[in-house]
Structure 1
Amino acid sequence: MTSLRHKQEPRDAYLDAARDCILDVGWRRTTLTEVARRAGVSRMTIYRTWADMPQLLADLMTREWGGVVAESLAAEDPAAPAVDRLVGDIVGTVQRLRENELFLRIVELDPELLLPYLLSRRGRSQDAILDLTARAIADGQAEGTIRAGNPLAIARGLLLAAHGHVLSSHTMVDDDVTEEELDVELVLTLSRSLRP
């Protein structure tokens, strides 16, 4: 997925080159030098923007996951009640992440890259998602369609529930249960936890 912007900035072209590298050879074998080569710029151009690959990866993931969320938000029905919009946004994001080629490649080749965001700290994308979710919860509370409570605590609980469906749903799919059935369960779990 390229940037959602109509006019591509140089930084986006560099992130696109990094994305292509990671898709081709994985994170561990991607270097800033290779990113520069693919972007058609000097190494110093890349080094002036990112001191190392972890910084570049953080920016790439922020852009990529932000794009996934933006796609989910664009698909929502603005006439639906706040709780239905929020549940749809969360489930849509979960589904899109599970299909995102960069996410799948990281999980396949370099799953340890995700561990800090699951075990140690939140990332920028998670904080942005939490902010959007907490605001949607507050809107739904004002509308009377979402239960009372601390919007940020509720948002964090929802994000924790969604993590399992993004990262582990494939371990629960077999001849007895489909991914679609698990998504229905996620919708029910989220809806019931949000309604007054």
Structure 2
Amino acid sequence: MTPNRHNGTDDDAVLDAARECVLAVGVRRTTLTDVARRAGVSRMTLYRRWPDVRTVVGDLMTREWIAVALGAAPAPDPARPARERLVEGLVAGVRAFRAHPLFRKILDVDPELLLPYVLDRRGASQDTLLEFLADALREGHADGSVRRDHPVRQARAVLLVAQSFTLSLRTMTDDADSDLHAEAFLGELRHILERTLAP
């Protein structure tokens, strides 16, 4: 795979370094100097590309979240209804996010980083996921497995549901057997999505 380069900087190497730093000490204790050292580049090289740690972490989250979501999507299979594949991918995506080490670290140590994307504005990863969802919903409209409605609005509603389970599920599970309870709630998510999307 060709590295993602910007003015001679291997972005993925820098984002990998940022990921290691955040996993080790959290976002607030990570500096651009730390990231530069781990990436093997000068601090000034990073400053030309990213003005501060938060912008590096923003790009890191975009890369990681899109990879998690798309990695959870089932392989294309015209023999299966689009709704079945979409619901399966969404439930698997919520499960994958909850297990993702970077997501868990940010949720545990720096949850305020996620608040703007919940309360104020959409991020790049959310826009990418909305495009993916709208396309999947259009497939469902075409094969008759998804209730016909405005696909963009439907995609936004579906993402709101999935986000709430991703971000808030642990507030609804008990400490004892939390994994077992989480799986039961993911069953509820599957049911909600099926009923919402069924014609």
- Fold shared by both chains (TM-score > 0.5): yes
Give ranges in structure 1 of 5+ residues lacking alignment: 1-5
Residue 33 of structure 1: CA displacement?
Answer: 1.0
CA displacement, residues 40-96 of structure 1 (integer Å, 9 cap, x when unaligned) = 1111111121112222111101100011012112x4462321001110111111110
The aligned amino acid for 2:27 is: W
The aligned amino acid for 1:57 is: V
Q: Which runs of 4+ in 1 moved over 4 A?
A: none
Q: Aligned partners of 1:92, 1:7: CA distance in 2, in Å?
A: 28
* Matched residue, 2:54: 54
Report the identity percentage.
49
* Matched residue, 1:180: 183
Matched, 1:193 2:185: no
The aligned amino acid for 2:62 is: T
Residue 37 of structure 1: CA displacement?
Answer: 0.7
Corresponding pairs, count? 190
Is the deviation greater in 98-107 or in 78-87?
78-87
Residue 100 of structure 1: CA displacement?
Answer: 0.4
* Matched residue, 1:133: 133
The aligned amino acid for 1:17 is: A
Give ranges in structure 2 of 5+ residues lacking alignment: 5-9
CA displacement, residues 83-138 of structure 1 (integer Å, 9 cap, x when unaligned) = 01110111111110000000000011100000000000000000110110011101
Aligned-residue RMSD, C-alpha: 1.5
* Matched residue, 1:3: none
The aligned amino acid for 1:94 is: V
Q: Aligned partners of 1:160, 1:54: CA distance in 2, in Å?
A: 24
Q: Aligned partners of 2:170, 2:109: CA distance in 1, in Å?
A: 16
Q: Pairwise mapping of residues 5-20 of structure 1 onto structure 2 (< 5 A)?
A: 6-9=1-4, 10-20=10-20
What is the TM-score normalised by the length of structure 2?
Answer: 0.91
SS of equivalent to 1:146: coil
What is the TM-score normalised by the length of structure 1?
Answer: 0.92
**Could you tell me whether the CA contact under 8 Å between 1:33 and 1:43 is conserved in 2?**
yes
The aligned amino acid for 2:191 is: L
